A and B are shown apart, each in its own frame.
Chain A
Amino acid sequence: MSASLAMGAYGFYVWSSVAVFFFVLLIDTLAPLARRRRNLRELRARIARQENRRRPGTPPSNESNA
């Protein structure tokens, strides 16, 4: 098993390739999920601001999760 993990003399190159492949795709997977959550949060804050403008005097409800 350790012999096959060493990949002959090429372990560094093979395993670096595997690492690059998964690292780049991991970032590519996480980035849009974070962006969607951020977009939802910003939209929620914007709606809350609009509500406050419409009914002045009411306490701002968006401070806690903005």
Chain B
Amino acid sequence: MANWVPLWLHRLGSPPVFYRFAGAVRPWALGLALVLAGVALYGGLFVAPADYQQGDAYRIIFLHVPSAWMSLFIYGAMAVAAFVGLVWRIKIAEVVAMESAPVGAAFTFITLVTGSLWGKPMWGTWWTWDARLTSELVLLFIYLGVIGLYHSFEDRRQGARAASFLVLVGAVNVPIVHFSVNWWNTLHQGSTVRLLGPSHIEASMLWPLLTMMAATKLYYVASLFARVRADLIASESGKGWVRELLAHRDGSGA
């Protein structure tokens, strides 16, 4: 492999480099996410036909399913970062893991609420203690536990290490959420879109779903980078580069 990739990753491990990189990428990721979300919602709410069984209520899928994917995807990203942070003690990895948790919690919360809004007209109930719903609720509690543990330590890095352990332990819940609809007889419907084998969905409904998936991924990047920048200002406040940044901001009248 070309050796500029590991070299670049190594440079990105330096807080000031990551801070600048995140600041440059964030507006583009957020802008593209907004455009894609707009296109996806137009396609999903107005262009795609109504479902033959669920009528227009199924359109909640275009918000609910991408959010649910993100609730698991962000957990995966957070677990990888937590592992890297614990093993190699790379500060940026710890910060990325810890700052992923609020975004993951937000998507998990959206998943639960939109699922509830979908469940009421289709199942006749806002909530049921079904395997998929319960494991997703547990996922939210794990996210909140990670956030709480991180902030309960006076020393940030100690908090990040303790919370990273919780992230790795809590990772057992991710396959449970994913496979719950296969392992148990649930009220929640099975997977519609599958990586292996044909998806059970029409192309006119599939493309808005995949577009929204891309939008939420980009949104995660934007939100994570904003959070990492805010975190680094505080955790690196004693370092020269933050002082320089501040002096530069003051100098430019900001």
Contacts and interface: CB of A to CB of B under 8 A. Distances in A.
A39 B30 CA distance: 22
Contacts of A29: 30, 222-223, 226
A17 B233 contact: no
Interface residues of B, number: 40
A29 B113 CA distance: 19
B245 to A, nearest CB: 8
B109 A43 contact: no
A43 B246 contact: yes
Given A18-B41, A18-B63, A46-B237, A10 B223 contact: no
Nearest to A7: B56
A2 interface: no
Given A10-B121, A14-B57, A18-B41, A43 B242 contact: yes
Contacts of A39: 230, 233-234, 237
Interface residues of A, number: 30
Interface in A13-46: 13-14, 16-18, 20-21, 24-25, 27-29, 31-33, 35-36, 39-40, 42-44, 46
Main secondary structure of the interface of A (DSSP, over half): helix
Contacts of A46: 237
A40 B118 contact: no
A29 B59 CA distance: 25
B211 to A, nearest CB: 15
A2 to B, nearest CB: 12
Contacts of A18: 41, 45, 63
A66 interface: no
Given A21-B110, A32-B227, A40-B246, 10 more contacts: A8-B50, A13-B60, A13-B120, A14-B56, A24-B109, A29-B30, A31-B102, A35-B227, A43-B233, A44-B250
Interface of B: 30, 41, 45-46, 50, 55-57, 59-60, 63-64, 67, 99, 102-103, 106, 109-110, 113-114, 117-118, 120-121, 219, 222-223, 226-227, 229-230, 233-234, 237, 242-243, 246, 249-250
